[in-house]
Structure 1
Amino acid sequence: MLRELVGGLPRTFWALFTALLVNRAGAFAMILLPTYLTAGRGTSLAVAGLVTGGYGAGGAVGTLLGGVLADRWGRRKTYLTGTIAAAILMLALGFAKPLWLIAALAILIGLMHMLPSPAMVAAIVDVTPEHDRPRAFNLQFWAFNMGAAIAAALAGIVAEFSFFALFAIDAGMTALTAVLIWRLVPETLPKPSHGSAPERGSLGMVLVDRVFLAFVGLTFVLALLTAQSISTVQLAMSSDGLRPSLFGLVVSVSGALIVFGQLFVPKLIGARRHAGVLTLSLAIIGFGYSVLAFADVGWVYLAAAIVWTVGQMFAAPANASIIAELAPWHMRARYQGVFNLVFPAAFFVAPAIGGWSLQTLGPWHWIVCGALGVAAAVGHLLAEPARARRVSADRAVPSTVEPVAAARGLEELARP
């Protein structure tokens, strides 16, 4: 059973997996950045919000820049640049005193934190055979959430001891991530076969790919619904007179479900079509949120959270596999960079309109969320034929097929 879940994946994938787990487990400084600013530096809530927003803005720039660099410069160089720079900047943030310097460093750290993200996903696609990619992406999603759960558990404890320790330990774990990449991960960027001209690409080409952008739009709905669990659900529970600790329990249960259940998702979805999995996923998520229209006690919120978390677990490997299929080999990281913008955008829009919508519509807000889930589920069914035609057409054109010689040599290097 365990071999079916994790067996047969390349050595380079496991190096990337380990680096991601280490990096996320130590990424707890930015979790408590607002608390550090208000309690440690005495800023107002508004200023703390602006500085934290700057971190997010830097991340949006970083994911686009990281995609371009990873395709042009290489996955390994981009990953190392982001992690080394982030470690140095994080330590500097721990020493920074002037507010303008803290704000500037937060923006730069956001940029450097997101710079390696497209490179990491592109590298996973580079080294993993197509039939193994759903399992690989499922494990990547697990590592991200496992690391985040560890960071969330440690952040408060470390902060009670020392705010500076937050930044110092975070910097150290980021530096350790860089060492792992330096020692264990080779350059995976495919090279054109001997004698052929290098493939050219640009960010603009990604932004006019209508099939891909339709997929990004549907994923934005998924991200928008996911963001409800952090922002609007908290407001709804508060208005129902429920204690903050109960909201913490809801978040913890969702995280625990991912940590203990995500590894079994590939077995459940098998070789089913990605569009079918995403349709089921969004329908489940929409149903989970629509239940909140009738919620006023803690156990209903808890049950609904379990439902929508199951939907999110199904969506993760299917989403990543579709990107791998749609992205030309020489623009993988650029496509991933554009796709990554969906999540910061959703986590900005959701709290911005969620409170207004909940106040104006009341319980109907959750019915609207359910309807959005169903609409996106239908959207994936309608978009599937165009995606299938696109993938078939790409595979029929020699210039869009990944160079065989590079892939074969890399496979020999990457296999355990």
Structure 2
Amino acid sequence: MRTVRGWFRDTTGGLPSTFWYLWTGTLINRLGSFILVFLAIYLTTARGFTAVQAGLVIGLWGAGGAVGTMVGGVLADRWGRRPTLTAAHIGAAAMMLALGLAEQLWLVATGALLLGAFAEAARPAFSAMMIDVVPERDRLRAFTLNYWAINLGFACAAVLAGLAAELDYLLLFVVDATTTLLTAAIIFFKVRETRPVRVPQATGSAPTAPARGGLRTAFSDRVFLGFVALNLLTALVFLQHISMLPIAMGADGLPAATYGTVIALNGVLIVVGQLFIPRLIRGRRRSHVLALAAVIFGAGFGLTAVADHAWLYALTVLIWTLGEMLNSPSNSTLIAELSPSALRGRYQGVFSLSWSVAGFVAPIAGGFVRDHVGDAALWLGCAAIGAVVAIGHLVSGPARERRAAELRGAPATCDATPATPRSDAAAPPITGPTADAAVPAATRSPAETAADLTAVG
């Protein structure tokens, strides 16, 4: 019992209350995340669209998300994390209801486009706020806990959505909109702004160099863009589970409820195993972990080519979920370390753009390949992409770790355990975030960081 209590304390202890409000909002929102999971089935059954039309609608969701992530990233840095998150969630809730009521193809497509823009505008602001409030030493743990909440909600939502879809598809949209509004309320009433604030320059002091950056900086960062490109390829494979996988299962005569149960396995496995993953990968080279994850990921989706029964589909989900669990924590901590402190929102927006572009391309390309080349070619192609991503991580890993070490201001030792962070000399003077948010390690002085590390032991 004492060991269990110690493990629980080590896993959840010491994180700021702002993180737990964000975590709660994530869990509530994901408990009602019905729409995207069942959108392909809804469009092809309730609305009678073809697989290509359904792929186009889901692709427009991704296109809207591409715009939303860029706008959301800029707003997170200029307007603030909290107002960006609140406005994005309210807008997403409104568009969910509009999409559920739309019937004609052009209305459905427009609703998906706008919903993608609002929903994805929240992603960079949320990620930037997480980095703001959680010190670097705790980020792997915090991102793992948040990912756990996402998948706990997803596992429950997938099963409930399968049952609700048998009653009325509109119910999916109503519940999703409601949970999104609840998340907006938590952010508005409980979360304070965490964006780092510049210290006013003293009268008569030497002028401080203006902050350099913006989207141009992110788009000219070759090391960062290489990482984004690899994530884009990974996302192209991963998003087939919400576009082509339900269509493939339907073609094998499996009902929507079965798809919900099978895909819920993904969330259940992550809920059970994700809390232990950080211990498993601690001290391992991140490039090796990401490469292994890509191989497992591709193998799982590739085996879908031979699946024709529910248990076989469940087996493929189990395999690619293992790859997902290895990929997520290393991915999250690495993108945090590659983002300069003054440009976190923009860097998160550009990184999120890879998911939005994949959200547009994956269903359209998947539908095209499936209709014109065949189902097996689609899934075997996913396996080939996984192998390419693995090679890419092995080749580009050392350069990424050198860049992360440069931003920390410490020599690159290996790509496993981060070195002690220090302040970014190129960044403008800033104070810590307001409220109870911990000052991000990248904005602290060396003395403050050393004191914190000593206090932790």
TM-score by length of 2: 0.77
> 1:391 & 1:94 partners in 2: Cα distance?
44
Please say if 1:181 is aligned against 2:187. yes
Identity, in percent, stands at: 45
Please say if 1:147 is aligned against 2:153. yes
Match of 1:383 among 377, 393, 396: 396
Q: Taking structure 1 as reference, are residues 156 and 355 closer, same or farther at Cα in structure 2, changes over 3 Å only?
A: closer
Give 1:11-410 correspondences, 5 Å limit. 11-29=17-35, 31-32=37-38, 44-45=49-50, 50-91=56-97, 103-159=109-165, 161-162=167-168, 164-195=170-201, 196=208, 199-231=211-243, 243=254, 249-291=261-303, 299-354=311-366, 360=373, 368-396=381-409, 398-400=424-426, 405-406=431-432
Q: Taking structure 1 as reference, are residues 372 and 194 closer, same or farther at Cα in structure 2, changes over 3 Å only?
A: same
Contact 2:192–2:435 (CA under 8 A) maintained in structure 1: no
1:171-214 Cα offsets, whole Å, 9 max, x none, are 33222111100122111111234424552422222112110111
- Deviation at residue 354 of structure 1 after TM alignment: 4.1
Letter matched to residue 264 of structure 1? F
Q: Taking structure 1 as reference, are residues 381 and 400 closer, same or farther at Cα in structure 2, changes over 3 Å only?
A: farther
Q: Taking structure 1 as reference, are residues 413 and 134 closer, same or farther at Cα in structure 2, changes over 3 Å only?
A: closer
> 1:101 & 1:351 partners in 2: Cα distance?
19
Structure (1/2) with the larger helix percentage: 1
Letter matched to residue 389 of structure 2? A
- Deviation at residue 7 of structure 1 after TM alignment: 1.9
Q: Taking structure 1 as reference, are residues 206 and 172 closer, same or farther at Cα in structure 2, changes over 3 Å only?
A: same
- Deviation at residue 71 of structure 1 after TM alignment: 1.0
> 2:233 & 2:220 partners in 1: Cα distance?
20
> 2:58 & 2:299 partners in 1: Cα distance?
32
Listed as ranges, the gaps of 5+ residues in structure 2 are 1-6, 202-207, 410-422, 441-457
1:249-290 Cα offsets, whole Å, 9 max, x none, are 542322321222222211221243322221221122234345
Listed as ranges, the gaps of 5+ residues in structure 1 are none
Q: Taking structure 1 as reference, are residues 312 and 363 closer, same or farther at Cα in structure 2, changes over 3 Å only?
A: same
Q: Taking structure 1 as reference, are residues 153 and 51 closer, same or farther at Cα in structure 2, changes over 3 Å only?
A: same
> 1:26 & 1:284 partners in 2: Cα distance?
29
Letter matched to residue 342 of structure 2? H
Q: Taking structure 1 as reference, are residues 164 and 283 closer, same or farther at Cα in structure 2, changes over 3 Å only?
A: closer
- Deviation at residue 82 of structure 1 after TM alignment: 0.9
- Deviation at residue 131 of structure 1 after TM alignment: 1.6
- Deviation at residue 361 of structure 1 after TM alignment: 7.8
Secondary structure of the residue aligned to 1:399 is coil
Deviating more after overlay: 389-398 vs 120-129: 389-398
TM-score by length of 1: 0.84
Deviating more after overlay: 368-377 vs 386-395: 368-377
Contact 1:193–1:406 (CA under 8 A) maintained in structure 2: no
1:290-330 Cα offsets, whole Å, 9 max, x none, are 55566666655433332221011110111111111111111
- Deviation at residue 39 of structure 1 after TM alignment: 6.8
Letter matched to residue 378 of structure 1? I
What RMSD over aligned residues (CA atoms) do the two structures have, in Å?
Answer: 3.5
> 1:290 & 1:214 partners in 2: Cα distance?
24
The count of residues paired between Structure 1 and Structure 2 equals 412
Q: Counterpart of 2:445?
A: none
